[in-house]
Amino acid sequence: MPTKFNVTRVYCYGILFLFFGLGFVVSLISPLFEPPDEIRHYRYIRKLVVEHQLPVQGEEEVRSQSHHPPLYHLLSALASFWIPSEHTSTYEHPMNPFWGYRNWEVGVDNKLQYWHTSIERFPFRAGFLAAMVPRWVNVLLGMLTVGLTYMVGQRIWPQRPALALASALLVALNPQFIYLSAAMNNDIVAAACGTAVLLMCVVMIQEGLSPRRLVILGLVYGLALLAKLHLATFGALIVVSLALAAQCSVSQNRHFAILFRWLQAMLWVFSIAGLLAGWWFVRNWVLYGDLTGMSKLNELWYGRSAGGSWWAIEQGVPYLWSSLWARFGYGQIPLPSCIYTILLLFCGVGLLGLLWTRRSHMPGRWVFLLGGIILLFTGVVFYYMMIQPAGAMGRFLFPVLPAFAILVVGGWNTWLRCPRYILMLIGAGMSALLVIAVVGYFWPAVRYPARVAGELAQSVTTVVQVGDVARVLAMEVSPARVQPGDPVWVRVVWEPLRVTARPYTVYVHLIDDAGVLAVQRDTWPGLGRAPTTFWREGRVFEDIYRLDLSASVYTPAQAQVYIGMYESEWGRLELSGARTSEWGLNVGEVAIDPAPGAWPNTQFANFTDEIALVGYTLEPRALQGGESCTVTLYWQVLVEPRYDYAIFAQVLDTEYNVWGSHDGGGVIWTPGEVVTVTRQIPLRPETPPGNYPLQVGLFHKEAGRLRVITSDGREVDERVLLGPLRVK
């Protein structure tokens, strides 16, 4: 028996050191401030280090996480105060203006929110070591959480140590838990404190009440309250656990003695926790007139009333689940949806095993205790989802992740009845998930673009020089023919020549045969991962840019694709070589064919299920200020309209300035028919040269503007953009 115990302990230490190694590596490869809210937690820490005071909600020059209790930030400040750094509580990191492009999709396109340079990486110059040390504090706190998970599992299954190891492994190899343990946030210290409270509750039930255990539980719960506000929910777990422990501590079934012992124990625990953490709630009351500070939080962070917000739970649960396992950055680096479905099936099958009580080796009281705190805690998170737009974050469930892992492992033990097989199943499955998530999706989205094979660079015969900054070695457009709504893919192989002082932007333009800019896409090279200020000279890489044709793009058209580089103050870089013009480097040609349908420029813009725009024409599409264009709109009347709607048709710029319009009614809306409406739109003589979309929609003085709804019932806008027009 002692030998087996020692072997188990070695395995546990192995899991802890594995987690530490993984967390440390991820902390190095994860660009600073990309994890959720990391820059705001950093400002909180710097406030403590530089000004030696806590931030106050509403009084900050730039936002920090000032509504949170300070435990993690105090620990990080103590660990990093000795490091020279000029960063203050108002620190701002330069942004990537193109980040988050189609951020719901799997891929690498502009997943980085900030502009990163080499000084942020080892050896962490310009004071950035002060930002790395708080990350390493979290790695240690994550390691503590994994160890506490094992200790809880060992208490529940003293004769089956492999199940305790499997529970710890399910937490330790969770990609999202590793990712956030390698970042600045207070979710990991919340997980550690929540698991510590759970462990002490289990110990109390098993070994009974004692002054020493009550003091420890009170201190741990006090720390939990200083870690994150929603850990107050663990008070319910403490109340139930102390009741069970009091019942076991009294030799006979004397109800008064049990009640007295229970009340006495609660007085000990909550008094000690109050002495440790009560000052935070008093401070909130003094500053905000609210013990929790939530009223001020909702005021500053666009909160809403919980009443009537049940839709937020329905919409948020898929994101909550995916971000519990692996959804990096601010959620813009997801995995394929099938992976989240597999995880749901795996956990669901495991939890179903708990219902087979005759085969389960997990006593019912533990299922009740762990399941109860999970349900209660999830309910609190659901409430937060209802009042806060950013409430659906899986990391908010980290304090009950260990309890969830133990229940899943216990359920699988019912099915397989072999702890070693469960340990191997979870070890292999979670290792595969970690490799897929980090190596397959996270690392490609944040790393510098991979080097293109040398054979490609050597086979290039046509080279276009882009100033003295870069050379284009290869280019390609695909497909050759598209329809409205289709994407166009532009492949460019770059050879960097030198680093620049400010980042140049790559532009990709699709110009149709009327000289109109049909589609525009701007981005930094490397799809945001290789700004020219961070060039690796001579390292050839490939970019694939996506151009999204709108559903209302004008057809038919023969369009040319052009690329180039510019900087907002310095202008465009000069191009030298074949296939260059005033537009830029001609990459290729695309034919835009009409979508199938009976009307010109067929589409279906559904205005509140009453009237739909099904087509249009616009002539001329290139004109000068003071001239007029003619738009013909085809409207399908779906039902009897509620009002006699008028049509607005306006030429506007990106600042919503109107340069020409024709608004008015007089249309007879006959249900079941397609109504043709033609309008002349004169442009103002002073209209500057450029490309201008034509916005079209329906309105009534009582109903306001009608909104466009999608096929699944979502409201997306109150207008449709057509054209555009080119003002010469």
Which pLDDT tens digit goes with each residue over 624-675?
A: 999 999 999 999 999 999 999 999 999 999 888 999 999 998 899 999 999 9
Report the alpha-carbon distance of residue 136 to residue 141 in Å, rounded.
Answer: 9
* CATH number 3.40.640.10 is the correct assignment for the domain at 605-727: no
Confidence of residue 379 (pLDDT cuts 50, 70, 90): very high
Q: What is the pLDDT of the chain when averaged over all its residues?
A: 93
How high is the pLDDT of residue 3?
Answer: 46
Domain with CATH 2.70.50.60 in the chain: 454-592
Q: Is 109's pLDDT higher than 90? A: yes
Is residue 470 predicted with pLDDT exceeding 50? yes
Query: Is pLDDT at 185 greater than 70 in this prediction?
Result: yes
Q: Which fold has domain 454-592?
A: Coagulation Factor XIII; Chain A, domain 1 (2.70.50)
Mean of pLDDT values over 263-271: 96
Which ranges constitute the DSSP H helices of 419-536?
419-435, 443-446, 454-459
Residue 370 has pLDDT above 50, yes or no: yes
Q: What is the mean pLDDT of residues 355-375?
A: 85
The band of 682, judged by pLDDT with boundaries at 50, 70 and 90, is very high
**CA-based nearest residue to 641, from 571, 567, 706:** 706
Parallel, antiparallel, or unpaired: how do β-strands 715-717 and 658-661 relate? unpaired
- Residue intervals in the chain for CATH 2.60.40.770: 605-727
**If pLDDT is split at 50, 70 and 90, which confidence band does 248 have?**
confident
Q: What is the residue whose two structure tokens read 């659906």?
A: 392
Instruction: From residue 543, give the alpha-carbon distance in Å to each of 52, 136, 334, 653.
Output: 47, 34, 20, 30
With bands split at pLDDT 50, 70 and 90, how would you rate the model's confidence at 678? very high
**Statement: residue 1 has pLDDT above 50:** no
What pLDDT, on the 0 to 100 scale, is given for residue 524? 97
- CA-based end-to-end distance of the chain: 88
Strand partners, 523: 506
Residue 250 scores a pLDDT above 90: no
Tokens read off for 391:
């409430």
Rounded Cα gap, residues 696 and 247, in angstroms:
72
Tell me, what's the pLDDT at 4? 47
pLDDT tens across 10-64, in order?
999 999 999 999 999 999 999 999 999 999 999 999 999 999 999 999 999 998 9
pLDDT at 454: 57
Helix crossing, 211-227 with 234-249: angle to 10°? Answer: 170
* The predicted structure's pLDDT at residue 254: 75
Q: What is the pLDDT of residues 326-352, one digit of tens each?
A: 999 999 999 999 999 999 999 999 999
pLDDT tens-place string over residues 305-330: 888 889 899 999 999 999 999 999 99
Helix extents (H) in 47-128? 71-80
Can you give the pLDDT at residue 361?
72
Its pTM stands at 0.92
Please report, rounded to a whole number, the percentage of residues in the chain having pLDDT higher than 90. 84
Q: Over the stretch 530-575, which tens digit does the pLDDT of each residue have? A: 999 999 999 999 999 999 999 889 999 999 999 999 998 999 999 9
Predicted local confidence at residue 117, as pLDDT: 87
The Cβ-side half-sphere exposure at 627, using a 13 Å CA radius, reads 15
For residue 417, pLDDT over 90 is answered with: no
